[in-house]
Amino acid sequence: MNSWVDGAAGSSYDVDNLPYGVFSRGDEPARVGVRIGDFVLDVAPVAAGEMLESAHVFEAPSLNPLLALGRPVWGSVRSWLVGLLSDETERDLVEPNLVPVDDVQLRMPFEVADYVDFYCSLQHATNVGRIFRPDQEPLKPNWHHLPVGYHGRAGTVVVSGSPVRRPRGQLKPADAESPTYGPSERLDIEAELGFLVGAPTAIGEQVPTSAFADHVFGVTLLNDWSARDIQAWEYVPLGPFLGKSFTTSVSGWVTPLAALDAARVELPGQDPEPLPYLAVEQPAGYDIDIEVVLNGEVVSRPPYSAMYWAAAQMLAHLTVNGASLRTGDLFASGTVSGDDPGQRGSFLELSWGGKEPFGDGRTFLRDGDEVSLRATAPGSLGGRIALGEVTGRIEPAE
């Protein structure tokens, strides 16, 4: 059944979507909202009026209290919301609490505990290997055996719309004898999906692939802004650090994992077969179409369905050593790139290391550029649901 909310039925924000965010309006305190059509449902007063046991979590300026309640509550809250927004008899109760989305400000929707970034696209990893190490095998021997990942900086994850300041740092052009200090000249995007952990675990616990949906609450688009020149000089042997840690952007709306049930697809195939702790039940992939928009023009269309490693495998790997999970942990897929050149999720690949300008003749990001990531996926009502957009504009180095 579709929503009775004006304009919601058949839109990309019908009752098969219902992403969560944190919004504020004027001087009112920030609290949890759910998007329906072009409105935000102010959940707290409705939940309080209906004496919902979990009503208090919607008054928080963060999704974390809701995340901590775990999957059974996520499920019952979602069913309740679907009822409210599709059953016409609820209109009188709900309508006074619908706010036009243009009237609210979206805040950072969750507090990030630990942030991990994976490297799970075969096409992206292969492209990067060819660009950075043209005389070697593009993939390292471990790549097909495990989802390669590393920790990023949780404190600099920001919500869509936050400015992105061009970072300064050490740069060393290949022909220079020693490094110089200055603004990055190879500022880039990485189009990724982020997975948000709700239910925590204790140290020593492993999360099997089958328990993925018990722990992961939802999904956000994620732009892992990257300074390629800083990264290239610093990353051997301990991995990327300042080339990534200045800013990571996530969307203001978190799509519940349940909303992506209709988007599940089989993985493209894994060879060799992974070790048993990484075995996963199909369909373990997601058919999510991403668009990279530069200053209003679509410059790439990365397909999430092309990803080699499943999100459930990333989580099982992350915890195989007994590392605990906390509410608010965020792990990202790594750059999503498809087989075609028009499906590459970074400027590094789109410009082939800066050697083949694309679009308006560019290689990397210029000051003033605005980049948005958008995405849609099949919804359970037969149409497509939208993931929350993530946008950032490049400000000059200070």
Q: Which of the residues are catalytic?
A: 124
Select from 135, 238, 269, 361 the one that contacts its own copies (CB under 8 A): 238
Q: Which amino acid is at 87?
A: D
In sequence order, what are the residues at sequence separation of 6 or more whose Cβ sits closer than 8 angstroms to the Cβ of residue 387? 19, 219, 220, 221, 251, 253, 255, 288, 374, 375, 376, 377
Cα atoms in the 13 Å half-sphere on the side-chain side of 330: 32
- Six-digit token string for 187: 């500022």
Q: Quick check: 168 binds its own copies (CB under 8 A)?
A: yes
In the complex, least distance from residue 389 CB atom to its own copies, rounded to whole angstroms:
21
Contact map string, positions 329 to 348, toward its own copies, x by CB under 8 A: x-------------------
Determine how β-strand 248-250 pairs with β-strand 216-223: antiparallel
Tell me the number of residues near its own copies by CB under 8 A: 63
Quick check: 276 binds its own copies (CB under 8 A)? yes
- Using CB under 8 A, which residues numbered 80 to 99 contact its own copies? none
Q: How far is the CB of 140 from its own copies (least distance, A)?
A: 5
Q: Which of 304, 302, 253 has its CA nearest to residue 106?
A: 253
Strand order from edge to edge, sheet including 31-36:
98-100, 39-42, 31-36, 20-24, 105-107
Q: Would you mind telling me the total number of residues written for the chain in this entry?
A: 398
Nearest distance in Å: CB 283, its own copies: 25
Please tell me whether residue 320 binds its own copies under the rule CB under 8 A.
yes
Least distance between its own copies and beta carbon 81 (Å): 30
Q: Quote the CA–CA distance of 329 and 128 in Å, as a whole number.
A: 27
List 19, 37, 169, 285, residue binding its own copies (CB under 8 A):
169
Tokens linked to 70? 């775990």
Bridge-based pairing of strands 31-36 and 39-42 is antiparallel
User: Per CB under 8 A, does 271 bind its own copies?
Assistant: no
Among 318, 330, 381, 386, binds its own copies (CB under 8 A): 318
Q: Which of 27, 92, 102, 181 binds its own copies (CB under 8 A)?
A: 181
| Shortest distance, position 237 Cβ to its own copies, whole Å | 6
Q: Kindly state whether residue 136 participates in binding its own copies, applying the rule CB under 8 A.
A: no
Task: Tell me 254's DSSP state.
Answer: B
Helix runs in the chain, H state only: 43-49, 64-68, 71-86, 91-94, 122-132, 212-215, 228-234, 311-318, 347-350
Q: Strands 248-250 and 157-159, how do they pair?
A: parallel
Give the residue among 385, 328, 386 at the shortest CA–CA distance from 66. Answer: 328
Under the criterion CB under 8 A, does residue 25 sit at the interface with its own copies? no
When asked if residue 48 is in the footprint of its own copies (CB under 8 A), the reply is no
- Take residue 287 and report the two structure tokens written for it: 């058919």
Residues in 99-128 that interact with its own copies by CB under 8 A: 113-114, 116, 119
Instruction: Name the minimum Å distance from CB 286 to its own copies.
Output: 23
| Among 67, 46, 70, CA closest to 57 | 67
Residue 34 or 112 having the CB closest to its own copies: 112
Asked if 150 is part of the footprint of its own copies (rule: CB under 8 A), the reply reads yes
Contact status: 321 vs its own copies (CB under 8 A): yes
Q: Which of 26, 27, 134, 142 binds its own copies (CB under 8 A)?
A: 142
Q: Residue 353: left if φ>0, alpha if ψ -120 to 50, beta else—which one?
A: left
Give the residue with the Cβ less far from its own copies, 34 or 148: 148
Cβ proximity to its own copies: between 10 and 155 the closer is 155
In the structure encoding, which two tokens stand for residue 325, read together?
């999970």
The type of residue at 177 is E
By CB under 8 A, tell whether 279 contacts its own copies.
no
Q: Does 178 bind its own copies (CB under 8 A)?
A: yes
Stretch that binds its own copies, among 9-17, 79-87, 135-143, 213-221 (CB under 8 A): 135-143
Min dist CB 334 to its own copies, Å, is 9
In angstroms, the CA 60 to CA 73 distance is 16
Pick between residue 78 and residue 172 the one whose CB is nearest to its own copies.
Answer: 172
Residue numbers at the binding site for its own copies (CB under 8 A): 113-114, 116, 119, 140-142, 145-146, 148-156, 158, 165, 167-170, 172, 178-181, 203-204, 206, 227, 230, 233-243, 245-247, 272, 275-277, 317-318, 320-326, 329, 398
